[in-house]
A and B are shown apart, each in its own frame.
Chain A
Amino acid sequence: MVYILGIESSCDDTAAAITGDTKILANIIANQEVHKNFGGVVPEWASRAHQQNIIPVVETAIRQANINKNEITAIAFTRGPGLLGSLLVGTSFAKAFALGLGIPLIEVDHMQAHVLAHFIQKGPNTKKLPSFPFLCLTVSGGHSQIVLVKDYFEMEVIGRTIDDAAGEAFDKAAKIMGLPYPGGPVIDQLAKEGNHLAYTFAVPNIKDLDYSFSGLKTSFLYFLRDQLKLDSSFIEKNKADLSASIQHAIVTSLIKKVKFAAKQTGIREIAVSGGVSANSYLQKKLTEAGTEENWNVYIPEFSFTTDNAGMIAVAGYFKYCKGEFAKQDAVPYSRSH
């Protein structure tokens, strides 16, 4: 069994995971619970928070995986893209730990890992996996892209947002309505009670397979501003319908381009990843589109959709199999390449 320790610290969350081959043994994100065992509270944010989180999450992951640290075969870490200060913490820790244990180091690209999260096995190896080539819609707070996945590490971004990400559109729509952050899950819940055809919010038609959500945010903002002038409790009265309608606009736009991409490439293996893939309406609409278009649709388990280290560990496993290792002088990168 190949045991990989995965480390993720590219943005807000510090995470560590252990895989045994492709099977997940522990998938830990720093939270209050992890810190309780270390007698502290979870710090606010950013690189200093990662410094405080890194040891507790790794310790917790190793303990939960029920292995000894000397059994770890290799350490995989997120090298980028992300915030440099945050990435440095995970990178430095991974290097030091690998050096100390005398085991190989593996660098992982965060965006590739989001796609490879589909290959994480939870129970016995019975889960149906996407077969190459497949299309992956990666949608999160910071990204909206359609990736053509030819092999584990052969990926091409064939569509991307030209302004706001889909997750950002959800969060900002929620903010406009005065709902709490992160707004995506709140809108998802409220929308279940609402009519998605109550209001029409147009999503601009952008060329090719690209996305644009900035205009949608602005038209939502102006619509509410005008309505509030006529009725100051407009949002309060209609938040379910508003949530359902804005969600419908975002999801419709996401699926439309996936359909285009599928037609263009002739690929019928369709996967979705990233935090927004947890949205129940997106899952429903994607599944429906799959039935219509005769696709095989792959939706990962929630804990592997948001930023997590399980996906880093599994990506590390595939690199380990290829014998692709990082050197001790590897430095983080902030932008995708």
Chain B
Amino acid sequence: MSVVIEKRCSSLSELDAIASELLEQCKDKRLFALFGPMGAGKTTFTQAICRQLGVIDQVSSPTFAIINEYRTAGGDAVYHFDFYRIKIIEEAMDIGYEQYFFSGSYCFIEWPEKIEELLPEGCVNVHIEETINENERIIRYSLNPE
């Protein structure tokens, strides 16, 4: 049975606490797939998570680069993916996605829909939903006991 955690975020200032809780709840997880339409705040949420992880680099959108690599103050690598531009699954394979997904480093994946069949088991699916209120988001993820 999985436990669904749902958070209502009504301002940017609440995001860091939600990010911190996500990391705490998923302590043993390294792969996070971020689902949500354009403008939902996938990159913004990744920025908040990376702040919690102590990333020292500028966290920006990897839409063009496909993969951004950051370092934490402690020297750990953090990978930030965006599969928005991917047209066929082979493109993700060509990149050598396994090297990253199974590296033991944190991976945050935007537009995971494009490569859903490649997402390993144990990947945390985070859904960011818009509400009628422009500045409000629902952030939802489930904890699956394994």
Interface residues of B in 59-118 (CB under 8 A from A): 60-61, 63-71, 87-88, 90-91, 94-96
A48 CA to B64 CA in the complex, in Å?
18
> Within 8 Å of chain A (Cβ to Cβ): is B39?
yes
Closest to A164 in B: B61
A165 and B95 contact, CB distance less than 8 A: no
B95 and A221 contact, CB distance less than 8 A: no
Looking at the complex, which one of A83, A162, A168, A221 makes contact with B66 (CB distance below 8 Å)?
A: A83
A243 CA to B91 CA in the complex, in Å?
31
> Within 8 Å of chain B (Cβ to Cβ): is A214?
yes
Q: How many A-B residue pairs have CB under 8 A?
A: 79
Known A-B contacts A214-B43, A217-B38, A222-B39; the reply to A168 vs B64 at CB < 8 A is yes
By a CB distance below 8 angstroms, the chain A residues around B47 are 163
> Within 8 Å of chain A (Cβ to Cβ): is B134?
yes
> Within 8 Å of chain B (Cβ to Cβ): is A104?
no
Band of interface residues on A:
20 to 34
Please, what's the 1-or-0 string for A35-57, where 1 marks a CB less than 8 Å from any CB in chain B? Answer: 00000000011111100000000
A48 CA to B60 CA in the complex, in Å?
27
**Closest Cβ–Cβ distance, residue B31 to chain A (whole Å):** 19
A176 CA to B38 CA in the complex, in Å?
9
A75 CA to B60 CA in the complex, in Å?
32
B58 and A45 contact, CB distance less than 8 A: no
**Closest Cβ–Cβ distance, residue A315 to chain B (whole Å):** 20
A70 CA to B43 CA in the complex, in Å?
49
**Contacts A162-B60, A167-B64, A222-B39 given; 7 further ones with Cβ under 8 A?**
A46-B94, A46-B95, A83-B65, A83-B95, A84-B96, A85-B95, A164-B61
What residues of chain A have their CB less than 8 Å away from a CB belonging to chain B?
11, 44-49, 81-85, 140-142, 160-165, 167-168, 171-172, 175-176, 214, 217-218, 221-222, 334-335
22 CB-based A-B contacts, threshold 8 Å: A44-B87, A44-B88, A44-B90, A46-B91, A83-B66, A83-B67, A85-B95, A140-B64, A141-B63, A142-B64, A164-B60, A164-B61, A165-B64, A168-B61, A175-B38, A214-B61, A217-B38, A217-B39, A221-B39, A334-B69, A335-B69, A335-B71
